[in-house]
């Protein structure tokens, strides 16, 4: 009967106290830990790649007439970091933050607001401004950027018209 | 497999005259047999009883958008050949589809037949049927897995309640089955005579989450389902995500870098370490030996930190994508991994030795909850439960996948079939896993870890099995456009719960909690049992700790 107890005492003595007194001590995190994400609004183009890759719908797009909002809701986030993988600008950073408990739902939300470009022909708003700016910069100067400023619908119309003109119709 | 490509594999020859056609699927790892409905029972009987195949699962599929009818796939495996056999039965009826039930020949098909009846309305004829998966108030005419039911469909709330049917013994006050505070809602009714359990009734599926349907929905794609699959289980999630990606990769002929296969196998073993140590702790806790529980979990914690170090997360690793893994194991990490492995092996040895040497613990494990070999084979049980009952089944050996063909390890097998055997199988597996990880690290080839260039053809099949800590996890997949057309998951506990009936019958009530826990069913079921005294008909609720418990260790 004595033996098992002795074994227990030996083991317990050997290992000592292992409990970390969190939150008075630092939490047990390795350098690889993935927590909440942060979006750098100054870099983000609003391309939506992260929204498409997010498995849990934690990232969504809210659109209104002239504004496009990229909404991150940490309450749905599974901290997979896929969004950071696919983001073409590196706007998303995976942080180590995990202490997210709150009694205000808004605390879990981050919103990146992008103004949308206005189409000079029909006046409708379409792509987010930074995205347009990037595409324009990428393209050669010349005829293309004028089309770039036009919304897809008007662009189609202009294109068709031009084609017809070329064919002499 | 050294069979000729155009010939039906030797073992399946007896079926030649009964099948219409056959073909290789899944990169030559499985055979699909087209069988007419009237031959199904005979084919299943020969396959199961004469050829000696194990039954894995069955899946109903709504194939009306493809060719106008429904279909049922029965999936068997011949362990010795590492060969999966899929019986494909077409059902021409658009309304009231049916197939003959094979349950009389193959008892293990019991639940999955009821499942396709619930989910697709395919009637398994010639057997008793009842609702299994759908909640009692789900509308009779909505079959959720049919393609014309939208994935977000929510039925109206039930307005009235129905009385619960009484069991086969005197009825009393029905209590449960939901428990707000404890792990998962599963529900057992134990019928007792005095202290002896005479029968058991189980009612589960209270938390059916519709994951298979969700994966077919337009809001998912092949890569996103990987993360969904990982959430099937909180303990062996990586197993599910591996089984799923492997199914997609094999069906879609996606090349996977070898290094990625090594990393996956390594993480599967890390997951097994944590799962077995978790189980060991909970088993000690159920037997009232909380010191054992705490020390087992102390050792387990090291494996959790290791998992985070390797993947970024303690659980739900988020490592898999179709085509490989997301994070490499860099050479700097290796020494730390090896150090942790040493600590885990040494710690486990001491703690396991400490736990089983406590006489009260040992007595309650030895000779209790016996599952005889015959019963184990008849029910096609899997994992440590099978291995403790003398069945030498381990998917890692029988159907080698990932990097398991390149490592050597032992498969512990015990013949007693009692709770102690199941404990020892798991403890020994911890040491084997440690060795496997060391070998994997040693032999890991250099190179890429992710292939993102792939394109998956629709209408291809794969059956994958992965040895989870609690047994064989089987996924069956039909590819679709951009996402699976049908994805069927059979978790190991699904195969093991029916074995509780033979285990519990005729044993002391006090041993029931540990016996139920001994199949490692994610533990939830242990805390919800209804005890009915057959003589008085009195019902009461049994919580985790029965009255009899080990109080002192002195
Ligand atoms: S971490 Fe994952 S779940 Fe969270 S926002 Fe990014 S992609 Fe979505
Ligand atoms: S965060 Fe990155 S991926 Fe997401 S919208 Fe902005 S630029 Fe695109």
Q: Report yes or no: A57 at the B interface, CB cutoff 8 Å.
A: yes
The answer to whether the Cβ–Cβ distance between A78 and B311 falls below 8 Å is no
Same domain, A37 and A98: yes
Distance (Å, whole) CA B88 – CA B90: 7
Of the listed ligands, the closest to the CA of A53 is 1
Using a CB-CB distance cutoff of 8 angstroms, which residues of chain A are in contact with residue B284? Answer: none
A1 contacts on B by Cβ (under 8 Å): 359, 554
| C-alpha to C-alpha distance for A82 and A52, rounded to whole angstroms | 10
Q: Cβ A80–B318 below 8 Å, yes or no?
A: yes
Indicate whether B505 belongs to any domain.
Answer: no
A73 C-beta closer than 6 A to ligand 1 = no
pLDDT bin (cut points 50, 70, 90) of residue B503 is confident
Residue B216 shares a structural domain with residue B126: no
Residue B329 CB contacts under 8 Å (≥ 6 apart), including other chains: B263, B266, B310, B337, B441, B444
By Cβ distance, the residue of B291, B298, B313 closest to A8 is: B291
> Which residues span the domain enclosing B37?
5-130
- Looking from the CA of A62 toward its CB, the CA atoms found within 13 Å total 11
Residue A51 CA: nearest ligand 2 atom is: 4
Asked, for residue A80, whether it belongs to a domain, the answer is yes
Which residues lie closer than 8 Å to B75 by C-beta, 6 or more apart? B55, B56, B57, B58, B59, B84, B85, B86, B87, B463, B474, B476
Judged against a pLDDT cut of 80, whether residue B431 lies above it is answered with yes
Q: Which domain holds residue A145?
A: 117-169
Q: How far is the CA of A49 from the centre of ligand 2 (A)?
A: 6
When comparing pLDDT for A70 and B139, which is higher?
A70
Average pLDDT over residues B92-118: 91
Give me ligand 2 centre to Cα B391, in Å: 53
Q: Are residues B279 and B382 in the same domain?
A: yes
- Split at pLDDT 50, 70, 90, the class of B204 is low
Indicate if A75 and A92 belong to the same structural domain.
Answer: yes
What pLDDT is stored for residue A146 in this prediction?
64
Confidence tier at B381 by pLDDT (50, 70, 90): confident
Q: Is residue A38 part of a domain?
A: yes
Instruction: Clarify whether residues A34 and A104 are in a common domain.
Output: yes
Instruction: State both tokens at B115.
Output: 């499942």
Residues A140, A107: one domain? no
CATH of the domain at A95: 3.30.70.3270
Average pLDDT for B213-223: 91
Residue B167 has pLDDT above 60, yes or no: no
- Look at residue A102 and tell me if it is in a domain: yes
Which residue has 């119309």 as its token pair?
A157
Q: Is A35 in the pocket of ligand 1 (CB under 6 A)?
A: no
Q: Cite the beta strand spans of B233-376 per DSSP E.
A: 320-321, 324-325
How many independent structural domains does chain A possess?
2
The interface predicted TM-score of the complex, written ipTM, equals 0.86
Measured in Å, residue B395 CA sits from the centre of ligand 2 at 42
| Cα B328 to averaged position of ligand 2 atoms, centre (Å) | 25
Q: Are residues B125 and B233 in the same domain?
A: no
Residue B405 lies in a domain: yes
d(CA B225, CA B456): 15
For the stretch A100-128, pLDDT in tens is 999 999 999 999 999 988 888 888 888 88
Q: Which protein residue has the closest C-alpha to ligand 1 atom 6?
A: A83
Regarding whether B236 and B121 lie in a shared domain, the answer is no
A15: contact with B, CB 8 A cutoff: yes
State whether A7 and B326 contact (CB < 8 Å).
Answer: no
Count structural domains, chain B: 2
- Please list the residues that pair with B326 across neighbouring strands: none
Q: CA B289, CA B283: separation in Å to the nearest integer? A: 9
Which residues of A fall within a CB distance of 8 Å from B305? 28, 30
> Which ligand has the minimum distance to the alpha carbon of residue B313?
1
Predicted pLDDT at B177: 52
The ligand 1 atom nearest the CA atom of A81: 1
Which of A115, A131, A158 is the endpoint of a domain?
A115
Residue A19 lies in a domain: no
Alpha-carbon distance values, A14 to A7, A17, A77, B227, B343 (Å): 11, 9, 40, 40, 13
Answer yes or no: are the C-beta atoms of B183 and B527 closer than 8 Å: yes
Identify the residue among A26, A32, A59 best suited for mutation to test binding to B, counting B beta carbons within 10 A and taking the highest.
Answer: A32
User: Is residue B169 over pLDDT 70?
Assistant: no
**A32 and B312 in contact by Cβ < 8 A?**
yes
Residues A124 and A70 in one domain: no
Q: A163 — contact with chain B (CB < 8 Å)?
A: no
Cα–Cα distance list, B551 to B362, B454, B526, B546, B554 (Å): 14, 60, 20, 12, 9
Of residues A11, A53, A55, nearest to B354 (C-beta): A11
Last residue of a domain, one of B112, B130, B148: B130
Residue B449 has pLDDT above 70, yes or no: yes
> Which residues, at least 6 apart from B60, have a Cβ–Cβ distance to it below 8 Å?
B70, B71, B72, B73, B115, B116, B119, B120, B122, B145
> How much is the mean pLDDT over chain B?
84
Q: Indicate whether A36 and A107 sit together in one domain.
A: yes
DSSP collapsed to 3 states, B126-155: CCCCCCCCCCCCCCCCCCCCCCCCCCCCCC
Q: Which helix (H) or strand (E) holds B282?
A: helix B258-286
Residue B502: what pLDDT? 86
Give the number of the ligand closest to the Cα of residue A128. 2
The reported pLDDT for the residue numbered B526 is 30
Task: Say yes or no: A39 and A85 in one domain.
Answer: yes
Contact B135, B177 (CB under 8 A): no
**Model confidence at A3, in pLDDT bands (50, 70, 90)?**
confident
Q: Are residues B122 and B215 in the same domain?
A: no
Q: Which of A55, A57, A58, A78 to mutate to test the interface with B (most CBs of B within 10 A)?
A: A55
Q: For chain A, give me the number of helices (H) and strands (E)?
A: 6, 6
A83 CB near ligand 1 (under 6 Å): yes
Instruction: Please tell me whether residues B239 and B126 are part of one structural domain.
Output: no
The 3-state secondary structure of A107-157, one letter per residue: HHEEEEEEEEEECCCCCCEEEEHHHHHHHHHHCCCCCHHHHHCCCHHHHHH
Contacts of B98 (CB under 8 A, 6+ apart): B91, B122, B123, B124, B125
Q: How confident is the model over B102-109, as a mean pLDDT? A: 89
pTM of the model as a whole: 0.89
Would you say residue B215 has pLDDT above 70?
yes
pLDDT, greater one: A119 or B5: A119
Q: Is the pLDDT of residue A5 over 90?
A: no
Based on the domain organization, do A148 and A160 belong to the same domain? yes
Atom of ligand 1 nearest to the CA of A74: 4
HEC assignment per residue over B66-117: HHCEEEEEEEEEEHHHCEEEEEEEEECCCCCCEEECCCCCCHHHHHHHHHHH
Alpha-carbon span B456 to B407, nearest angstrom = 31
Q: What CATH number did the domain enclosing B120 receive?
A: 3.30.460.80
3-state secondary structure of B30: strand
The predicted model gives B405-423 an average pLDDT of 92
Pairwise pLDDT comparison (B516 vs B474), residue with the higher score: B474
pLDDT greater at residue B446 or residue A145: B446
Of B70, B96, B130, the one marking the end of a domain is B130
Ligand 1 atom 8: residue of nearest CA? A54
Angle, CA A40 vertex, CA A38 and CA A41 arms, to 5°: 125
- Number of A/B CB contacts below 8 angstroms equals 70
Q: Is A100 in the pocket of ligand 1 (CB under 6 A)?
A: no
Q: Using DSSP, state whether B179 is helix, strand or coil.
A: coil
Which ligand approaches the C-alpha of residue A69 most closely? 2
Q: What is the pLDDT of residue B443?
A: 93
User: Do B110 and B226 belong to one domain?
Assistant: no
Q: What are B313-341's pLDDT values in tens digits?
A: 999 999 999 999 999 999 999 999 999 99
Domain with residue B447: its CATH number is 1.10.645.10
pLDDT score of B58: 92
Select from B459, B475, B490 the last residue of a domain.
B490
pLDDT of B189 strictly over 50: yes
Mutating to test ligand 2, I would choose from A38, A82, A85, A92 the residue with most ligand atoms within 8 A of its C-beta, which is A92
Residue B240 lies in a domain: yes
Q: Collapsing DSSP states into helix, strand and coil, what is residue B506?
A: coil
| In-domain check, residue B515 | no
Residue B383 belongs to what H/E stretch?
helix B383-388
pLDDT of residue A141: 60
Residue B341 pLDDT: 95
What residues contact residue B532 under an 8 Å CB cut-off, 6+ apart?
B167, B169, B170, B172, B189, B190, B191, B192, B538, B539
Within-domain flag for A1: no
Please tell me whether residue A106 adopts helix, strand or coil conformation.
Answer: helix
Which atom of ligand 1 is least distant from the CA of A79?
1
Contact B12, B77 (CB under 8 A): no
Find chain A residues with C-beta within 8 A of B312's C-beta. Answer: 32-34, 81
Res. B156 pLDDT band, cuts 50 70 90: confident
CA of A151, closest CA in chain B: separation in Å?
A: 27
Q: B538 vs B302, which has greater pLDDT?
A: B302
Is A140 within a domain? yes
**Which residues between 60 and 89 in chain A have a beta carbon less than 8 angstroms from any beta carbon of chain B?**
78-82, 85
Evaluate whether residue A11 is within a structural domain: no
> Does residue B170 carry a pLDDT above 80?
no
> Does any domain span residue A98?
yes
Inter-chain CB proximity A33 and B313 less than 8 Å? yes
pLDDT bin (cut points 50, 70, 90) of residue B476 is very high
Domain shared by B440 and B295, yes or no: yes
Per-residue pLDDT for B26 more than 90?
no
The model's pLDDT over B243-267, given as tens digits with 9 standing for 90+, comes to 999 999 999 999 999 999 999 999 9
């Amino acid at each position: 009967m004595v033996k098992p107890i002795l074994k227990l005492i030996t083991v317990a003595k050997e290992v000592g106290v292992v409990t970390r007194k969190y939150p008075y001590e630092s939490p047990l995190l390795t350098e690889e830990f993935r927590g909440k994400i942060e979006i750098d609004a100054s870099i983000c183009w609003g391309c939506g790649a992260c929204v498409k890759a997010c498995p849990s719908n934690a990232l969504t797009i809210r659109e209104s007439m002239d504004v496009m909002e990229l909404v991150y809701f940490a309450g749905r986030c599974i901290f997979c970091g896929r969004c950071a993988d696919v983001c073409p600008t590196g706007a998303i950073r995976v942080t180590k933050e995990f202490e997210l408990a709150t009694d205000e739902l808004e605390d879990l939300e981050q919103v990146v607001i992008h103004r949308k470009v206005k189409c000079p022909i029909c006046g409708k708003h379409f792509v987010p401004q930074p995205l347009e700016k990037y595409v324009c910069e990428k393209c050669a100067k010349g005829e293309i950027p004028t089309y770039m400023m036009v919304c897809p619908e008007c662009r189609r119309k202009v294109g068709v018209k031009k084609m017809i003109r070329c064919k002499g119709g | 497999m050294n069979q000729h490509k155009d010939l039906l594999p030797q073992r399946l020859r007896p079926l030649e005259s009964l099948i219409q056609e056959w073909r290789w699927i899944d990169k030559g790892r499985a055979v699909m047999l087209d069988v007419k409905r009237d031959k199904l029972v005979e084919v299943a009987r020969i396959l199961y009883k004469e050829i000696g195949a194990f039954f894995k699962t069955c899946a109903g599929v709504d194939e009306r958008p493809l060719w106008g009818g429904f279909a049922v796939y029965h999936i068997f495996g011949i362990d010795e050949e590492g060969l999966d056999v899929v019986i494909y039965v077409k059902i021409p009826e658009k309304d009231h589809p049916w197939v003959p039930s094979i349950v009389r020949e193959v008892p293990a098909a019991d639940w999955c037949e009821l499942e396709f009846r619930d989910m697709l309305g395919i009637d398994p004829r010639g057997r008793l049927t009842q609702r299994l998966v759908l909640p009692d108030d789900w509308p009779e005419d909505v079959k959720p897995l049919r393609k014309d039911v939208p994935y977000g469909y929510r039925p109206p709330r039930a307005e009235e309640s129905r009385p619960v049917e009484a069991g086969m013994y005197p009825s009393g006050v029905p209590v449960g089955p939901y428990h707000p505070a404890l792990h998962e809602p599963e529900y057992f009714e134990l019928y007792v005579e005095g202290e002896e359990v005479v029968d058991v009734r189980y009612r589960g599926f209270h938390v059916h989450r519709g994951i298979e349907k969700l994966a077919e929905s337009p809001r998912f794609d092949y890569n996103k389902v990987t993360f969904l699959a990982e959430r099937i289980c909180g303990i062996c999630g990586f197993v599910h995500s591996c089984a799923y990606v492997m199914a997609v990769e094999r069906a879609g002929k996606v090349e996977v870098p070898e290094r990625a296969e090594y990393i996956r196998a390594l993480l599967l073993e890390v997951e097994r370490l944590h799962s077995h140590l978790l189980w060991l702790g909970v088993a000690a806790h159920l037997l009232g030996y909380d010191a054992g529980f705490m020390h087992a979990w102390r050792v387990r914690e090291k494996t959790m930190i290791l998992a985070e170090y390797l993947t970024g997360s303690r659980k739900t690793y988020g490592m898999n994508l179709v085509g490989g893994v997301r994070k490499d194991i860099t050479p700097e990490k290796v020494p730390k991994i090896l150090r942790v492995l040493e600590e885990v092996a040494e710690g486990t040895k001491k703690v396991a030795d400490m736990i089983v040497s406590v006489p009260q613990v040992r007595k309650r494990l030895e000779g209790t909850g016996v599952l005889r070999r015959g019963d184990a084979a008849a029910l096609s049980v899997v994992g440590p439960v099978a291995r403790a009952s003398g069945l030498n089944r381990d998917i890692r050996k029988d159907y080698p996948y990932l990097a398991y063909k390149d490592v050597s390890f032992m498969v512990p097998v015990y013949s007693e079939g009692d709770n102690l055997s199941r404990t020892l199988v798991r403890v020994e597996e911890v040491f084997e896993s440690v060795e496997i990880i060391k070998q994997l690290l040693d032999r890991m080839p250099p190179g890429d870890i992710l292939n993102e260039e792939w394109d998956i053809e629709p209408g291809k099949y794969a059956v994958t099995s992965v040895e989870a800590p609690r047994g064989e996890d089987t996924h069956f997949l039909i590819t679709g456009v951009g996402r699976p057309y049908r994805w069927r998951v059979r978790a190991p506990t699904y195969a093991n719960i029916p074995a509780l009936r033979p285990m519990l019958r005729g044993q002391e009530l006090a041993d029931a909690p540990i016996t139920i826990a001994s199949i490692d069913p994610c533990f939830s079921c242990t805390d919800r049992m209804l005890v009915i005294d057959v003589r008085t008909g009195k019902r009461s609720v049994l919580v985790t700790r029965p009255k009899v418990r080990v109080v002192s260790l002195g």
